Structure 1
């Protein structure tokens, strides 16, 4: 399944749960949602458990919208 950008409501839910300034999040049809913060840090959030973490260096997958949100 391809990535779908989550709604602003779902993105705010992730921001509240993590305490981070989440600017965009995506779903892949499962319970773990990748997200990106305002300072361009990528992470994931588990909808069932509320656990989250930042992606390790070298494991970051940039979405096409990263170039729109964070122009070089």
Structure 2
């Protein structure tokens, strides 16, 4: 069984934050990252978006790794 590393746990938290943000945008037209870090997206806001995107890519790799470990 694959044991989650710290980076995987951080990626999960960031992906959840991103998913909640997209849900708020869809339901209430409220961009929580924009509210917290300024609109339009300044440097910090853009970094948050980049980190969320990278965490999504990391979770995709995690999915591939765990799928391979289950086959063995």
Normalising to structure 2: TM-score of the pair?
A: 0.27
Larger relative contact order (C-alpha < 8 A, sep ≥ 6)?
A: 2
Which protein has the larger Cα radius of gyration, Structure 1 or Structure 2? 2
Greater fraction of residues in strand: 1
Greater fraction of residues in helix: 2
Normalising to structure 1: TM-score of the pair?
A: 0.27
